[in-house]
Structure 1
């Protein structure tokens, strides 16, 4: 069992709020995290028909009856909208008691609307992401080489499949079928599953590229607003990251469209029929895949250590760019990700120029090499595996 970094953030939130909502895609480990962090809490799954029927009849009575102990974990909360009004009443009856309710749910527009309408100011929100390399080396679980995590992705069951001699692609195919055929209709999307699969696959082929929704719409025969709506749903369900550009009032023409990434490289590789590290090594998507893997691993740890930071990329019309700008208050940290060892003086000069343009206080090149080197003033190179806990 992996020890999740999010447990640190979760224990802080339960001291500040009467309820905490753990959001994340299906099968990412929300239930495991809640039970592992709060082993003495009662647990209820609203996908269980008997439990669902009891709460549907009188949710407030069920809450009052079952929360007499240390606390209550409510799984798949989005299945019962009536629950949120009952939670508001139960919380307000004893507002000073923190950490009574741990609510688990897959991100959906309806769920977030219920939280905003009924539990504003009463609930802390934690996003649980797939595993980081650091997490795969904890808790007595099988140790995954970072390349295995890169190939299979960070969903625990997908990674475990390969570690046990199975195939991560079998897991991802089952996951996608469930997502397209069951989850999307629940979110109010009536898209043809075949067409939706085509859109996700097109996003995989355009991994890390600038958003061009009109191109997707033309290829699929959909309207651009329809494609935009589906992209929003993919983002809200944590399968897609929309990385915004960084803007600063300088005399340069800047790219203003966001970049789109499928957030988990296991999903990316499954959609592109990549079975192994050897196949990935010679595939045209290798560079974009490595960029995604490093970027996501860092942002998953960044969200725990610096929960209020913001992530951007930087690109000018003239071609100057950096893959990631981490904004922490008034400080900017520039990060460029390279597949091969990056020690060229040209790269260092380019990063120094970007630091001057953006006001970043340092810049780091991350590659698959080993060790670390100083390339210029406040510009360093690091091998990714040199320290899998590192953040600038």
Structure 2
């Protein structure tokens, strides 16, 4: 029996279900949405899993009759396969006027969100569930340092940094729950099955893709572009597709939670800075599979090592902030002269810059982007800068720049 590993958003999910009639948990297929709900509400909630082919309980054909035979609280898994149900849920919620009635899950952000926002506006709370964080995989609490940095940036706790961790194994396996239980020899087979199901079910449902085979090549190419600004013209040329098609396919990858786009930070469109989105694959294990990286040992000398580490850290931060009631906005920065800041968090009128380096000894030459960012935006309230890396313990590179071990986040 596979052991359940607790998720960072458990407390938030429980709280929202107490105060909202409907809560939707959205995320990629097999990230653990149904497992989370079933363990958190074990014995307290009925469960129905919808199917893209079969009309379970005639929910699509007669959603009102289906709901009449379901006593809340109820969990409807993969609700994108029964969107007809949402208007019936709305009517029930408006009639009963109770909280904690329905939990929904879905693996297709675009279609599910559109249906939910139209049918359940003001009645639903939405949570995203990503692949497991490092702390979730290893059953260790995480996020204390990050939370303190965001809430009290002038105070940092240097007392508990632990010891160094082998990051390449974590990057190679990624955060999908099933993979954490598999021996390394079975992981490639898992990904082969996953990608086939993802393209044939999720992608076909969300978008009108002319060639699923070409889309599969597109996903493989995106894996090589993680942590880069995206040039749609170049992407289209590589695959022989139009620029607009490349843009549409990235939106499809986003809507199915495989890709995360982070906009460029800018207060003034006249300034000479890049306005392109930066993109990240949401799981490093999937990238390693797409790029045919056969083992963790290969990563150290692989051309994508830096991009993989940056992707891993960015997604760790994305996962950790999910448990906050108010989540920071995320941006990146790049000037036309090439100065960069990998990630900028914006919260309460303050900016928190983050640079990510796959090294254990970051130096001043690695933090030039921070000064360029400050020079570009001198009136902004910019807080202490972080360099997330493999440094053995927290240390200052300069007065306002702190090097942080990635495992301390």
Give the TM-score normalised by the residue count of structure 1: 0.91
Checking the alignment, whether the CA contact within 8 Å between 2:339 and 2:368 is kept in structure 1 is no
Change in CA separation of 1:57 and 1:218 when aligned onto 2, cut-off 3 Å? closer
Could you tell me how far apart the structure 2 residues matched to 1:350 and 1:225 are? 32
**Residue 195 of structure 1 aligns with which residue?**
214
8 Å Cα contact 2:133-2:175 kept in structure 1? yes
Q: CA deviation at 1:211?
A: 1.0
The 8 Å contact of residues 362 and 389 in structure 2, kept in 1 or not, is answered as no
Residue 3 of structure 1 is matched in structure 2 by 6
Residue 149 of structure 1 deviates from its aligned partner by 2.4
Instruction: For 2:270 and 2:263, locate their aligned partners in 1 and report how far apart those are by CA, in whole Å.
Output: 19
Could you tell me how far 1:48 is from its partner in structure 2? Answer: 9.4
The count of corresponding residues between Structure 1 and Structure 2 is 379
- Residue 250 of structure 1: how far off its partner (Å): 8.8
* Structure-1 separation of matches of 2:54 and 2:196: 26
Alignment map for 1:63-142 (pairs within 5 Å): 63-68=67-72, 71-95=73-97, 97-138=98-139
Matched, 1:152 2:179: no
User: Which runs of 5 or more residues in structure 1 are unaligned?
Assistant: none
Secondary structure of 2:338's counterpart equals coil
* Cα distance in structure 1, aligned partners of 2:251 and 2:269: 30
Are 1:303 and 1:309, in contact at CA under 8 Å, matched by a contact in 2? no
> What is aligned with 2:247?
228
Partners of 2:210 and 2:238 in 1: CA distance: 15
TM-score, with normalisation over the residues of structure 2? 0.87
Residue 35 of structure 2: aligned partner: 32
Matching of residue 176 in structure 1 with residue 195 in structure 2: yes
C-alpha contact 2:355 2:367 (8 A) present in aligned 1: no
Q: Residue 134 of structure 2 contacts residue 170 of structure 2 at CA under 8 Å; is this kept in 1? A: yes
The structure whose RCO (Cα within 8 Å, separation 6+) is larger is: 2
- Counterparts of 1:129 and 1:382, CA distance in 2: 23
User: Matches of 2:61 and 2:245 in 1, distance apart?
Assistant: 37
Find the residue that maps to 2:185 and give its secondary structure: coil
Deviation track 1:193-252 (CA, whole Å, cap 9, x = no partner) reads 221111111112222111111111122221111111111010111101111110033974
Structure 1 residues 123-166: Cα deviation after superposition (integer angstroms, max 9, x where no partner): 11010011001111229xxxx965332111111112322xx353
Within 5 Å, give how 1:1-392 maps onto structure 2: 1-39=4-42, 40-47=44-51, 52-68=56-72, 71-95=73-97, 97-138=98-139, 146-161=167-182, 164-249=183-268, 252-305=271-324, 307-348=326-367, 350-358=369-377, 359=380, 360-385=382-407, 387=408, 390=409
Indicate conservation of the 8 Å contact 1:24/1:30, yes or no: yes
* Residues 330-376 of structure 1 deviation map (CA, whole Å, 9 limit, x = unaligned): 01111100011243133355534534544321101111121110122
Runs (5+) with no aligned partner, structure 2: 141-164
In structure 1, how many angstroms separate the alpha carbons of the residues matched to 2:53 and 2:269? 58
Q: Residues 46-92 of structure 1: CA distance to partner in whole angstroms, max 9, x if unpaired?
A: 22988713323432233233225xx1111111111220111011100
Contact 1:323 1:335 in 2 (8 A): yes
Q: Secondary structure at the match of 1:25?
A: coil
Structure 1 residues 250 and 80: CA distance shift in structure 2, 3 A: closer
User: Structure 1 residues 343, 183: CA separation in 2 closer, same or farther (over 3 Å shift)?
Assistant: closer
Q: Partners of 2:139 and 2:25 in 1: how far apart?
A: 21
Q: Hey, what's the Cα distance between the residues in 2 that align with 1:206 and 1:290?
A: 13
Secondary structure of the corresponding residue to residue 365 of structure 1: strand
The one-character-per-residue Cα deviations of 1:263-292 (angstroms, maximum 9, x if unpaired) are 110111111110111111110000000000
- Structure 1 residues 348 and 285, CA, compared in 2 at 3 Å: closer, same or farther? closer
Q: Is the 8 A contact 1:355 1:363 kept in 2?
A: no
State whether residues 362 and 391 of structure 2, in contact with CA within 8 Å, keep that contact through their aligned partners in structure 1. Answer: no
